[in-house]
A and B are shown apart, each in its own frame.
Chain A
Amino acid sequence: MTSQVSSPAEQADGTVVGEQRTAAGTKGVRRLDRVIIRFAGDSGDGMQLTGDRFTSETASFGNDLSTLPNFPAEIRAPAGTLPGVSSFQLHFADHDILTPGDAPNVLVAMNPAALKANIGDLPRGAEIIVNTDEFTKRAMQKVGYDASPLEDGSLDGYHLHPVPLTTLTVEALKEFDLTRKEAERSKNMFALGLLSWMYHRPTEGTEKFLRSKFAKKPDIAAANIAAFRAGWNFGETTEDFAVSYEVAPAATAFPPGVYRNISGNLALSYGLVAASRQADLPLFLGSYPITPASDILHELSKHKNFGVRTFQAEDEIAGIGAALGAAFGGSLAVTTTSGPGVALKSETIGLAVSLELPLLVVDIQRGGPSTGLPTKTEQADLLQAMYGRNGEAPVPVVAPRTPADCFDAALEAARIALTYRTPVFLLSDGYLANGSEPWRIPELEELPDLRVRFAQGPNHTTEDGTEVFWPYKRDPHTLARPWAIPGTPGLEHRIGGIEKQDGTGNISYDPANHDFMVRTRQAKVDGVDVPDLGVDDPDGTARLLVLGWGSTYGPITAAVRRLRRAGQPVAQAHLRHLNPFPKNLGEVLRRYDKVVIPEMNLGQLATLIRAKYLVDARSYNQVNGMPFKAEQLAAALKEAIDD
Chain B
Amino acid sequence: MTDADLLQLVPKAEGRQTMKDFKSDQEVRWCPGCGDYAVLAAVQGFMPELGLARENIVFVSGIGCSSRFPYYMNTYGMHSIHGRAPAIATGLATSRRDLSVWVVTGDGDALSIGGNHLIHALRRNVNLKILLFNNRIYGLTKGQYSPTSEVGKITKSTPMGSLDAPFNPVSLAIGAEASFVARTVDSDRKHLTEVLRQAADHPGTALVEIYQNCNIFNDGAFEVLKDRQRAEEAVIRLEHGQPIRFGADRSKGVVRDPATGDLKVVAVTPENEADILVHDAHSASPTTAFALSRLADPDTLHHTPIGVFRSVGRPVYDTLMADQLDTAVDQHGKGDLAALLAGGDTWTVVG
Contacts and interface: CB of A to CB of B under 8 A. Distances in A.
B88 A329 contact: no
A308 B332 CA distance: 14
A100 interface: no
Interface in A144-195: none
Interface string A298-331: 0000011111110101110110011111111111
Contact of A273 (B56, B96, B337, B343): B337
Contact of A318 (B73, B116, B343): B116
B325 A323 contact: no
Contacts of A327: 91
A492 B74 contact: yes
A196 to B, nearest CB: 15
Contact of A321 (B84, B327, B332): B84
Contacts of A351: 80-81
Interface in A471-498: 486-498
B240 interface: no
Given A62-B347, A489-B55, A496-B70, A282 B95 contact: yes
Interface string B101-138: 00000000000000011001000000000000000000
A59 interface: yes
B50 interface: no
Nearest to B63: A497
B54 A329 contact: no
Contacts, number: 207
A56 B80 contact: no
A260 interface: yes
B207 interface: no
A355 B63 CA distance: 15
A490 B345 contact: no
B53 interface: yes
Given A317-B87, A321-B117, A59 B345 contact: yes
B95 A331 contact: yes
B188 to A, nearest CB: 28
A242 B81 CA distance: 69
Given A322-B94, A441-B346, A304 B78 contact: no
Interface residues of B, number: 62
A324 B91 contact: yes
B335 A305 contact: yes
Contacts of A256: 349-351
Interface string A237-254: 000000000000001001
A333 B349 contact: no
A494 B337 CA distance: 36
Nearest to B117: A318
A260 B321 CA distance: 32
B331 A487 contact: no
Interface in A310-367: 311, 313-315, 317-318, 321-331, 333, 347-348, 350-351, 355
A260 B344 CA distance: 8
Interface in A268-314: 270, 273-274, 277, 282, 284, 286, 303-309, 311, 313-314
Contacts of A506: 26
Contacts of B171: none
Q: Could you tell me the dominant secondary structure of chain A's interface residues?
A: mixed
B56 A487 contact: yes
B347 A59 contact: yes
Contacts of B325: 304-305, 307, 309
Contacts of B337: 273-274, 277, 306, 444
Interface in B320-349: 321, 324-325, 327-329, 331-335, 337-338, 340-343, 345-349
Contacts of A305: 325, 328-329, 331-335
Interface in B291-327: 321, 324-325, 327
Q: Which of A273, A311, A493 has the most CB of B within 10 A?
A: A311
Interface string B213-242: 000000000000000000000000000000
B51 interface: no
Q: Which of B60, B70, B328 has the most CB of A within 10 A?
A: B328
Nearest to A357: B78
A391 interface: no
B143 interface: no
B252 to A, nearest CB: 41
A314 B71 CA distance: 28
Contacts of A3: none
Contacts of A286: 91
Nearest to B73: A494
Q: Which of A317, A324, A351, A487 has the most CB of B within 10 A?
A: A487
Contact of A494 (B24, B55, B334, B335): B24
Q: Which of A56, A205, A329 has the most CB of B within 10 A?
A: A329
Nearest to A252: B349
Q: Which of A255, A324, A490 has the most CB of B within 10 A?
A: A324
Contacts of A307: 325, 335
A284 B120 CA distance: 19
Interface in A482-538: 486-498, 506-507
B98 A487 contact: yes
A326 B78 contact: no
A551 interface: no
Contact of B347 (A60, A273, A491): A60
A487 B99 CA distance: 7
Q: Which of A303, A314, A315, A442 has the most CB of B within 10 A?
A: A314
Nearest to A488: B55
16 contacts: A257-B349, A258-B348, A304-B324, A308-B335, A318-B84, A318-B120, A327-B91, A330-B96, A486-B55, A486-B57, A486-B76, A489-B54, A496-B80, A497-B80, A498-B79, A506-B26
Interface of B: 11, 24, 26, 53-58, 60, 63, 70-71, 73-81, 84, 87-96, 98-99, 116-117, 120, 321, 324-325, 327-329, 331-335, 337-338, 340-343, 345-351
Interface of A: 56, 59-62, 205, 251, 254-261, 270, 273-274, 277, 282, 284, 286, 303-309, 311, 313-315, 317-318, 321-331, 333, 347-348, 350-351, 355, 440-444, 486-498, 506-507
Given A305-B332, A309-B95, 11 more contacts: A256-B351, A258-B349, A259-B349, A273-B335, A305-B328, A322-B88, A325-B93, A326-B96, A328-B88, A441-B341, A496-B78
